[in-house]
Structure 1
Amino acid sequence: MRIHRAHTFRAVAWTVTAAALASTLSLGPAAAAEPACPPAEPQQKPANTCPVPPAKKPPAKKQAAKKQAPKKTAAKKQASDKQAAARKQAARKQAARKQAADKEAARKQAAKKQAARKQAAEKQAARKPSPQAPTAACRPPRPKPQPPASCQTTPRKPAAKKPAAQQPAAQEPTTQRPPRKRPPAKRPPAKKPPAQRKQLKKDHGWRSEGLYIDAADLRKVNVFLARARKAERTISPQVRSIARRTKATVVSFDERLRQPESVKRAVARTMQGDPTMTAEDALGRINNSVRYILQWPDRSYVKGVQDTTKLLAGWKNANLRWSNTWARPRGFKAISSSWRANDSGHPYELQFHTPKSRAAQRQIRPLYVEAHRSRTTSQRRAQIQGQINRIYATVPCPAGSQLLNGPRRRSAERKAVNGGQYVRAVPVMARNPFTVHEPLKP
């Protein structure tokens, strides 16, 4: 009985201890024994709070825009994807092209190297003598006789004892072609210069279209042209001043200096026509190395010419030639005059035109150049003269232009200025008898 009670007491003690541990650790029946928490009561809103207004709905347009926004963004995204794909494709193509170019360059480089190796091998094979064809100076010794004395000092080994590595020519494949011997390049025969060029190089003269000027006369022509360029600097301001005072138009002012080739042709043609004439005399006949053209309308043409001659005479410019061709039934129609500058003493040409006469002069310019060529035939010159007459026949004559005369004649008193001759102006009571005219030369 005592043992049974003891066991019962122990069992009760263990049961109480287990219940205490379970309650402490919230396990099993102890956790279920705890009462559940009462539910929280809902909080009541205060009575004095303001009512919140209901949210306004966006207008229909904004809602439509919001609906369309995803579509636009999707389209933009699709377009950007297409652009990115195109860029990637272009980059791939460019990389492929670059890779192909690199491969082609590498292939060409390898082909060049291979060709260089073949060429070097061919050269080496050509240089080394073949073992089957010994040189005549030192032949291989026969089995019984002794080699010659010239080869005893340096005996040559037989070809059979040479290693295979030292015989590249014997081991080369049979497909390789022997080196091709190119024939020597033929040099073209030296061209001999013609006799005219030799003469021109020897004396440094001038030659063109069958005309010739020697070195001494050419130096005189160059001095004359340099003097004309210097005189133009003082003549041009006077011509511009006359144009302002008389309300004239200066035509082709950029062509006021005659071309040097034209002056040389004129000198050579004059000397060729008269063998007794010198270069100084031929240059003395050239009055248009500096030339100007003044133009007025038909109604103010006569007054403009008269005022111009008065101004030139007042500035002591000597009149050398006066040609009025308005009364001519055929040929050139205008007034052409030559003057000598008072300060420089150099001659210059001054032409007086109307708009229609100037237009006709421009029209006949190529015909005039063709007529003065040396290879132009006389029959062709007659045809050209007929064309020029027909062109000038359409030019009207201004009223009173046929009666225009030049200023009074000036006597010729020679004086040296800057190494050149010029005429000093001295009034003489006489009219200018010159009526010969030469059109504007190229």
Structure 2
Amino acid sequence: MKKYDEAEGVWRTVGGRRIFIKNGQSLSEAMIESGKFAKKDKSSSALEQGYETARAMEPTITADLSEIVEESGGELTGLEFRLKTKESLERKVLSDMKLTGLSKEETLNYLYDVVRYTSLFNSDSLVPGYQRIVEKLREKGYNILRVKNTMGKESASYWGINTVVENPKGYRFELQFHTPQSFQVKQELNHSLYEEQRSSNVSRQRFKELEEQMLSNNRMIKVPTNVSDIKSFDKLKKG
């Protein structure tokens, strides 16, 4: 006789342990309730705290960015996804822990996309738009900590400009820059290929095939004017 009615949730195997997740219940809550993860309480609390901090910071960041991007001639897209769901964050943490071998706390420390945004500019206005946004963010007390510009790089399976930004209170979030075309390729063509590529059971041959397909898809993108003027740097890198 089962302890739970399956209409009220789903069974999942986490870390080799079978647990029941009720409808509307987060993974961490189900793990604690199961009694099978007593040693995880501390890390689960860290995740809960991290998520609540993100929820508290997001509204002000969103208001500032909405104003700045509009004034800079761009468009924020996908705002409905600006905050990861708690369940999505838990899946991401567990997935990254598998890939990196890091602890939950260590993994949480380098996840900067719990709050994330995407700004769109056409190929001729992306660089000046980026420059205006960076200037206006700094005027408001934000700090740009990392810029990774892979737009137009033939060897890169992802084309875009990803930045890690720190708000005046020290909270870090992700801001991406795309053209409508590069964003479409990322979302509609390459995202599913990327997800398959990073799965743990992908073969070496299949990995290479997926990489080649993403590179081929990127070649359809018009490279933004003067995009090489945006230099990559990383203030987060240790050492």
Shorter-chain TM range is 0.7 to 0.9
Cα deviation for residue 305 of structure 1 reads 0.6
The C-alpha deviation readout for 1:217-246, integer Å capped at 9, x for no partner, is 122111111111111011000110112211
Q: Does 1:320 align with 2:122?
A: no
Decide which of 67, 72, 79 is 1:246's aligned counterpart: 72
Question: Cα distance, 1:327 vs. partner?
Answer: 4.1
Kindly indicate whether residue 167 of structure 2 is the aligned counterpart of residue 346 of structure 1: no
Q: What is the aligned partner in structure 2 of residue 226 from structure 1?
A: 52
- Compute the displacement of 1:388 (Å): 0.8
Distance 1:434 1:365, change over 3 A: farther
Aligned CA distance change for structure 1 residues 191 and 311 (closer, same or farther; 3 Å): closer
Give deviations 1:280-299, integer Å, cap 9, x for gaps. Answer: 32111001110001111122
The alignment yields a C-alpha RMSD, in angstroms, of 2.8
- Residue 120 of structure 2 corresponds to residue 299 of structure 1: no
Q: Aligned partners of 2:160, 2:224: CA distance in 1, in Å? A: 10
Partner of 1:261: 87
The 1:233–1:225 alpha-carbon spacing in structure 2 relative to 1, beyond 3 Å, is same
Query: How far apart, in 2, do the equivalents of 1:261 and 1:375 lie?
Result: 23
Cα distance change on mapping 1:366 and 1:269 into 2, 3 Å: closer
Q: Is contact 1:295–1:352 with CA below 8 Å preserved after alignment?
A: yes
Q: Which SS does the other structure have where 1:398 is aligned?
A: coil
Taking structure 1 as reference, are residues 238 and 202 closer, same or farther at Cα in structure 2, changes over 3 Å only?
same
Q: Tell me, in whole angstroms, the C-alpha distance in 1 between the residues paired with 2:234 and 2:18.
A: 46
When residues 434 and 378 of structure 1 are mapped into structure 2, their CA distance, relative to the original with a 3 A threshold, is farther
Residues 354 and 283 of structure 1, relative CA distance in 2, 3 Å threshold:
same
Where does the alignment leave 5 or more consecutive residues of structure 1 unmatched? 1-189, 206-212, 407-431, 437-442
Shift in Å, 1:366: 1.6
For residue 202 of structure 1, the aligned residue among 26, 35, 38 is 35
2:145–2:234 contact (8 Å) kept in structure 1: no
Deviation string for 1:119-167 (max 9, x for gaps)? xxxxxxxxxxxxxxxxxxxxxxxxxxxxxxxxxxxxxxxxxxxxxxxxx
Q: Is the 8 A contact 1:323 1:434 kept in 2?
A: no
| Cα offset, 1:395, TM superposition | 0.6
Alpha-carbon contact 1:323-1:435 (below 8 Å) kept? no
Gaps of 5+ in 2: 4-10, 21-30
Report 1:386-405 matches (<5 A).
386-405=212-231
Secondary structure at the aligned position of 1:292 is classed as strand
Larger relative CO (CA 8 A, sep 6+): 1 or 2? Answer: 2
Identity %: 23
Q: 1:247 to 1:274 in 2, by over 3 A?
A: closer
1:341 CA displacement:
1.0
Deviations 1:337-396 (A, max 9, x none): 0011113x2211001111111111112122222223333333322221111111011111
Preserved contact between residue 145 and residue 236 of structure 2 (Cα < 8 Å): no
> Whose strand fraction is larger, Structure 1's or Structure 2's?
2
Residues 253 and 284 of structure 1, relative CA distance in 2, 3 Å threshold: same
Query: What do residues 188-238 of structure 1 show as CA deviations (whole Å, max 9, x unaligned)?
Result: xx5799972279522357xxxxxxx93321221111111111110110001
Alpha-carbon distance in 1 for matches of 2:235, 2:154:
18
| 8 Å Cα contact 2:147/2:161 also seen in 1 | yes
Structure 2 contact 84–115 (Cα < 8 Å) conserved:
yes
Q: Which whole-Å CA distance do the structure 2 matches of 1:203 and 1:376 have between them?
A: 30
The structure with the largest alpha-carbon Rg is: 1
Letter in structure 2 aligned against 1:197: R
Question: What is the number of residues matched between the two proteins?
Answer: 213
Q: Secondary structure at the match of 1:298?
A: coil
Q: Describe the shift of the 1:198–1:368 C-alpha distance in structure 2 as closer, same or farther (beyond 3 A).
A: closer
- State the secondary structure of the residue aligned to 2:114: coil
Preserved CA contact (<8 Å) 1:293 1:353: yes
Q: Which amino acid aligns with 1:359?
A: Q
Query: How far apart are residue 270 of structure 1 and its match?
Result: 4.0
Answer yes or no: is the 8 Å Cα contact 2:17–2:36 preserved in 1. no
Which amino acid letter does the alignment assign opposite residue 194 of structure 2? Y
The alignment's TM-score, normalised by the length of structure 2, stands at 0.78
1:284 to 99, 103, 109: 109
Amino acid at match of 1:225: Y
* Offset, 1:434: 6.8
Cα pair 1:302 1:404 within 8 Å, conserved = yes
Look up the match of 1:309: 134
User: How far apart in 1 are the matches of 2:165 and 2:226?
Assistant: 23
Distance 1:294 1:283, change over 3 A: same
